[in-house]
Structure 1
């Protein structure tokens, strides 16, 4: 016959086992991701087209990242508070196969465009589950689900993976090509502060 003390111990063990099983349940698959853009500080970019094709090539998405891209904290870096949540959010377990972007570099009044292929390796990194929490809320953020496009004024694009819990992880770089705009196209102006910086330092090439 089981005494009360033994019975309570069994119940406790079952409860602990149940909690442990719930905590170790299979993680949910990645079903939301985004494409974000950033320009170096003072070298503003204006994005007017963002097209994304799914990896299965059966559909795609078109959205606005934010016309004026977020700026990094330094002219020669891609770090910044907005680097992981300034983008176009897509709720889908299908990841991108191709990203097409066209943007206007306001520091030198040049327009660029580029189709960027996303590799299987990069998609696998996005789907990799990490049991990691961060931030004031200590919220679980297990995926590197933000594709950050660093848009340099010389047309170089740096492609990173990140999210709130992960720093920028450079995947590769590609060189965009100049896009011929209409003769009457008017480029938006830089801020006074940015224009003063560009007037003093110019538009470097090959540093991003």
Structure 2
């Protein structure tokens, strides 16, 4: 939800960046959504566990939605080390996330996360292109396998993949529509460490046994994302 308290320095930077990069794109007026809300979801490659400290959104009206998502990113940790964390799925899922209620179309996403696999803390500023926003309001005829029906569907879900090395990859998807590649962003290391330095260097969660065993045996496939 939108907070009424003053925006801190990080979010001021986020808003100013949005103004510089996206003001021209929304000069024609606010977008009108053909649905109630869009969704922000996040996931990590197999075994490469992630704790999301915050995922903040800024919409085209410069409203900031703090902690639109936080907590554990969606992940698979197959038994017997049979999973493959390299690369991204051809059909990314929705990820672990929430509806960004009350927001207009997104212009910026800020993510700060703990890569528990390394461990390391990163942050990334993701600029959402105008073309992506336009795609979010275009309805398309789609056949849904789940209920075997034709519907008018919308790509109203932003999915962010977070990988070791500070990589953030973004897709736009619809429940019954194929994914559109939005952006690949190289995040930066947060020098203060996890929780802004308030946790004494302690990360949010220990690795699950399957993840720990995979990394100890095969390492982290840097460069595959």
Give the alignment's TM-score, normalised by structure 1. Answer: 0.78
Name the counterpart of 2:215. Answer: 198
Q: Does 1:167 align with 2:178?
A: yes
Name the counterpart of 2:200. Answer: 184
- Find 1:38's aligned residue among 43, 48, 56: 43
Q: 1:64–1:201: structure 2 CA closer, same or farther, 3 Å change rule? A: farther
Question: Is the CA contact (8 Å cut-off) linking 1:111 and 1:178 kept in structure 2?
Answer: yes
Alpha-carbon offset, residue 205 of structure 1? 1.6
Q: Residues 67-126 of structure 1, C-alpha deviation per residue, up to 9 Å, x if partnerless? A: 111015741244499822631202346111111110000110100001111110110111
DSSP-derived class of the 2:140 partner: coil
Alpha-carbon offset, residue 164 of structure 1? 2.1
Q: 2 CA distance for matches of 1:34 and 1:197?
A: 31
Question: Is the CA contact (8 Å cut-off) linking 2:136 and 2:155 kept in structure 1?
Answer: yes
Name the counterpart of 2:71. Answer: 67
DSSP-derived class of the 1:63 partner: strand
Question: Is the CA contact (8 Å cut-off) linking 1:151 and 1:158 kept in structure 2?
Answer: yes
Alpha-carbon offset, residue 160 of structure 1? 0.6
Question: Is the CA contact (8 Å cut-off) linking 2:91 and 2:179 kept in structure 1?
Answer: no
Q: 1:93–1:185: structure 2 CA closer, same or farther, 3 Å change rule? A: closer
Q: 1 CA distance for matches of 2:52 and 2:164?
A: 12
How many residues are aligned here?
Answer: 180
Q: 2 CA distance for matches of 1:140 and 1:91?
A: 23
- Find 1:148's aligned residue among 130, 139, 159: 159
Name the counterpart of 1:23. Answer: none
Q: 2 CA distance for matches of 1:80 and 1:190?
A: 26
Q: Which runs of 5+ in 2 are unaligned?
A: 1-32, 77-82
- Within 5 Å, which residues of 2 pair with 1:48-67? 48-57=53-62, 59-67=63-71
After superposing the two structures, state which structure 1 stretch, 80-89 or 61-70, moved more: 80-89
Q: Which runs of 5+ in 1 are unaligned?
A: 1-27
